[in-house]
Amino acid sequence: MENVAEIRKLTVLSIVWLTITFTAVWLVCWAVGIGLPMALDVLFHYNNELLTEILRFAVPALSILVFIPINAMFMVLLERRALAIFTVRKGPNRVGPDGYLQTMADAVKLLLKEDITPTGADAVMFTLSPIIFFAPSIMGAVPLLAAVTNDHPFFHILNLPTGIFYVLAASAIPVVALVMAGWSSNNKYSLVGGLRSAAQAISYEIPLVLSIISVCLMAGTLDMVKIVQQQAGGFLNWNILGGGALTGLDRAIAASVNKTGEMGQILQLYYPFSAVSGIAALILIVCLVISMCLYLTGACAEINRIPFDLPEAESELVSGYNTEFSGMKFAIFFLAEFTNLFVVSSVTTVMFLGGGDNPIPPYILDKIPGLPQMIAMLRENPICSQLHLINPEMLFSTLWVIFKVYAIVFFAILIRGTLPRFRIDQLIAFGWKRLIPLSLIVFLVIVFARGFVICHG
């Protein structure tokens, strides 16, 4: 019963923190992108299109600057409380109401600690390494803003035609910072941690990239917004083959339903039957599930999450590459690690889970009592229509994104609380002997299955 109470507290904590986080981000975006130009027009009759565009360009940067520190504090608290539940003990529950402010206190403590540079360390590289480690976390989130918001006008400028290529390029930079941190610290344990991170990145970058390329191949684009839009519809939310071929399994399901009934007629309208397409789609779905697992495994290795945290490995290397760092520098490393986990979860949501698209078919949503009326009321509300403060479609899309992203974050925390750390030889062998051959096989199967679907779908 005590564990049930802790789970309930964690649920309430998550709802409160997420509400505060995303409300703060949205209010900042609205105030700069809509509120300020509207106020200038009403109060001073000053309606300058250039100023309005400049303010809109500032919205993405401000949203990232507001979101990253608040979200990192929440994720640290979420992980500590969740791990406490997994190990049947109490997590942080003293600072603030039920421990809500624990990570804020930790952040203040780190900021006030003395910043020490070890004797014999390369001061320039020692200072630059946490910055280079953290910067790609911000840069990698740039095209994701357009993708997770379904190309919202605030973030349209961030919609890059090669968005996923940009994210993958940015994600390759932090390993350089880890090697720099290990070498510049003048500490043998830190150096071993940096070298381990380089070996780990080389081993797991290949299956990670191949799993993403598989999705890009089926979508026919590197544009993350288009990839999300192509996933709209279908029971499986994976309608990303040209012409909707991946709904073939849905068609097979529809064909098995009594077509004389109302539901059967609706299914037939949405999904005309094609048995060959259904079989090929089933193969592709299995391959996509494997690709998603490959991506999550490779990504956990890239961001040094347990069981792939060999560059830190407290039981072997004290703290690995960041052993000699203190104060603000250590805080930046800590902030970047949790931001990277959020970016990885967002990429998974965009590339494999349909972004903010609702996986529930529309004909089922229309049957939910009160939902159509609530949407109509939101649209007709003066706050929504005149001030553009709440968009019903955007609201529901955001809720789905939050649910999917933090479900993956929670899964990563569950893995940390469940699995032991690999040995370094096991980690390297697992990457080269298992993941890379499997990712190549899956990629080839997808190539041939996609061609078969296009010919017979």
Q: Are residues 106 and 175 in the same domain?
A: no
Q: Identify whether the C-beta of residue 132 lies closer than 8 Å to the C-beta of residue 181.
A: no
Cα(312)–Cα(450) distance, rounded to whole angstroms?
Answer: 41
Cα(321)–Cα(311) distance, rounded to whole angstroms?
Answer: 7
Lookup: tokens for 286: 């299995």
pLDDT in tens, the chain (457 residues): 567 788 888 888 888 888 888 888 888 887 887 777 777 766 666 666 777 777 777 888 888 888 888 888 888 888 888 888 888 888 788 887 888 888 888 888 888 888 888 888 888 888 888 888 888 888 877 888 888 887 777 787 788 888 888 888 888 888 888 888 888 888 888 888 888 888 888 888 889 999 998 888 887 788 888 888 777 765 554 554 433 444 444 444 544 444 445 555 554 554 444 556 666 777 777 888 898 899 999 888 888 887 888 777 777 777 778 888 888 888 888 888 888 889 899 899 888 887 777 776 655 666 666 666 666 665 566 555 555 556 666 777 788 888 889 999 999 998 888 888 888 888 888 888 888 999 999 988 888 877 766 665 5
Boundary residue ending a domain (112, 139, 169): 112
Residue 352 lies in a domain: yes
Q: Are residues 105 and 142 in the same domain?
A: no
Q: Are residues 225 and 80 in the same domain?
A: no
DSSP string, 6-17: HHHHHHHHHHHH
CA distances from residue 45 to 38, 42, 174, 382 in whole angstroms, order as listed: 9, 6, 48, 22
Q: Identify whether the C-beta of residue 299 lies closer than 8 Å to the C-beta of residue 208.
A: yes
Q: Are residues 290 and 153 in the same domain?
A: yes
Boundary residue ending a domain (63, 93, 112): 112
Q: Identify whether the C-beta of residue 140 lies closer than 8 Å to the C-beta of residue 167.
A: yes
Q: Are residues 95 and 120 in the same domain?
A: no
Go through 52-78 and write b for each residue having 16 or more CB atoms within 10 A of its CB, e for each that does not: beebbeebbebbbebbbebbbbbbbbb
Specify the amino acid at residue 126: F
Lookup: tokens for 253: 């399901």
Contacts of 31 by beta carbon, 8 Å cutoff, 6+ apart: none
Q: Are residues 29 and 134 in the same domain?
A: no
Cα(85)–Cα(9) distance, rounded to whole angstroms?
Answer: 11
Boundary residue ending a domain (112, 127, 151): 112
Residue 237 lies in a domain: yes
- Number of domains observed in the structure of the chain: 2
Residue 231 lies in a domain: yes
Q: Are residues 383 and 274 in the same domain?
A: yes
Residue 349 lies in a domain: yes
Cα(255)–Cα(249) distance, rounded to whole angstroms?
Answer: 10
DSSP state of 242: T
Residue 404 lies in a domain: no
Residue 413 lies in a domain: no
Residue 339 lies in a domain: no
Q: Are residues 24 and 81 in the same domain?
A: yes
Range of the domain at 433: 116-324+344-392+418-456
Q: Are residues 193 and 231 in the same domain?
A: yes
Which of left, alpha, beta for 3 (phi over 0: left; psi -120 to 50: alpha)?
alpha
End-to-end CA distance of the chain: 53
Q: Are residues 259 and 312 in the same domain?
A: yes
Q: Are residues 192 and 92 in the same domain?
A: no
Residue 335 lies in a domain: no
Q: Are residues 296 and 276 in the same domain?
A: yes
Q: What 3-state DSSP class applies to 57? A: helix
Locate tokens 């990457």: which residue?
Answer: 431
